[in-house]
Amino acid sequence: MSNQSFFSRITKYPKGDSNDPRENRLTEVFAAVLNEVHGLALDLALDWLDPQVAKNYRGEVEHSEERTSDALEMLKTAKVQGIVPCVRVVTQKTIGEDRSGRLDLELQFTAADVDQTVRVEIKHRASPDHEQLLRYVALDSQIPVVLIAPAYKLRELTAEDFPGGVPRRSWESTGKQIEQYMNERYPSSETRCETRCGWLLSEMTNFLGEEGLMPLEAIKSEDADRISNLPSSTRALEELVRIALDVVGTVWGDEPEGKISRKGFGTLKRYPKERAADNPSRWSEGMWFEFKVAEDRDITPPQPVTGEVVFIAGLSRLLSSTSPAEAESQRLRDLSACDDPFSYFEEGRCARWMRVYTPGSLVKNEGETLEQQGQALGDWVVKAFEDLSKA
């Protein structure tokens, strides 16, 4: 068993080799649940290792058996005999002769007649690394290696660039199996709330849903209406953001090398930290002002938001850069406590202190024409930058 408490594990996850904090957080949350819910790791491992149950879920394919058959047989025999092996769950394990590899997750099953390890490489936003998987495969022929990634990432892989003996499983099918495991053992929501394991399983499926890693439900009538109107709404968003960018550039000024990924969803633009070039900013050199059109699931706003798109504006720095000095840290804390607070969250490998604005609020409060709404959005961005400059 892990010597870390559940909450210690999920709140103090290591950085590892990945620069994606969401991937590391996902790994630690998953590991904590596997460690606490007795029997879940065994059921999942049996599913991952068996080529006959490959679900072909948007990228899942049947794998060759030479690396998984022995482990599968041992764990399957234990299951048939009613033995649920103890499992030790290890994350961010350094492996290899030169200690250069860092494995996301290792499941060490032990019982009277069972001594089997399963290694798991976890992906979230990043694409699977073929060379990394090959190194893990070469370490020990008796230890199977499994890849778990979002279904759309699996679809990018081909037989030529993927080790044949490595099962590639999607988060969607894994999440579905966790949900099935929960429903079989805790059929009602009341039962789940009354038991520790039931609650953990429910929270795990909720978390995977929030991360966009559970299977989506069938399209409903209101979704069909949105899809039908998608071309016009996309063009409207593009024009809205173009107007806002013009306003901010005119009033605040542009960075010479300012980056815009596109005019609508996904817009990302950096701005100078001061309106006047000869007025030095009080913020660190490694920080920048930024406006972005983002997915709501990528952020943590002050209040829950509904929909898929939000506008964010504020201050950013790379997570890998030096942490702010104490005086600057206090100013950042003050930003979170002001009347119109800046929320802190980590997204896109950056630490961000941002105000959040929803399209719903914009439509409700700011003008009847797209031109007026774009002007209001640009003014909102400028006001965020002005407040940051005065902080």
CB atoms within 10 A of CB 113: 10
Per-residue confidence (pLDDT) for residue 2, from 0 to 100? 47
Of 106, 95, 148, the residue nearest 124 (C-alpha): 148
Alpha-helix residue ranges (DSSP H) falling in the chain? 6-11, 21-36, 40-49, 69-80, 130-139, 151-154, 171-185, 189-194, 196-210, 221-228, 230-251, 326-336, 359-365, 370-390
What DSSP letter does each residue of 279-328 carry, written as one string? S--SS-TTEEEEEEEEEGGG---SS---SSEEEEEEEEEETTSPPPPHHH
Per-residue confidence (pLDDT) for residue 279, from 0 to 100? 72
Cα 230-232-238 angle, rounded to 5 deg: 100
Query: How far is the C-alpha of 206 from the C-alpha of 299, rounded, in Å?
Result: 16
Per-residue confidence (pLDDT) for residue 199, from 0 to 100? 93
Per-residue confidence (pLDDT) for residue 48, from 0 to 100? 95
Residue 221, Cα to own-chain centre: how many angstroms? 28
Per-residue confidence (pLDDT) for residue 357, from 0 to 100? 87
CB-based contact 291:267 (threshold 8 Å): yes
Per-residue confidence (pLDDT) for residue 238, from 0 to 100? 85
CB-based contact 29:91 (threshold 8 Å): no
Of 36, 7, 22, 77, the residue nearest 196 (C-alpha): 36
Query: How far is the C-alpha of 11 from the C-alpha of 197, rounded, in Å?
Result: 19
Per-residue confidence (pLDDT) for residue 53, from 0 to 100? 79
Print pLDDT tens along the chain (391 aa).
345 677 777 776 555 555 567 888 899 999 999 999 999 999 999 999 998 877 667 678 888 888 899 999 999 999 998 888 999 999 988 887 776 678 999 999 998 888 999 999 999 888 887 778 888 888 888 899 999 998 888 877 776 667 778 899 999 999 999 999 999 999 888 878 889 999 999 999 999 988 888 887 765 666 666 666 667 778 888 888 888 998 998 899 887 655 565 566 778 899 988 886 667 778 888 889 999 988 765 555 445 455 568 899 999 988 877 777 777 888 888 887 777 888 888 877 788 888 988 888 887 777 778 888 889 999 999 999 999 988 7
Query: How far is the C-alpha of 14 from the C-alpha of 32, rounded, in Å?
Result: 14
Helix (H) or strand (E) holding 269: strand 268-271
Copy the structure tokens of residue 289: 């002002």
Query: How far is the C-alpha of 29 from the C-alpha of 214, rounded, in Å?
Result: 15
Cα 257-263-264 angle, rounded to 5 deg: 140
CB-based contact 109:42 (threshold 8 Å): yes
Per-residue confidence (pLDDT) for residue 13, from 0 to 100? 59
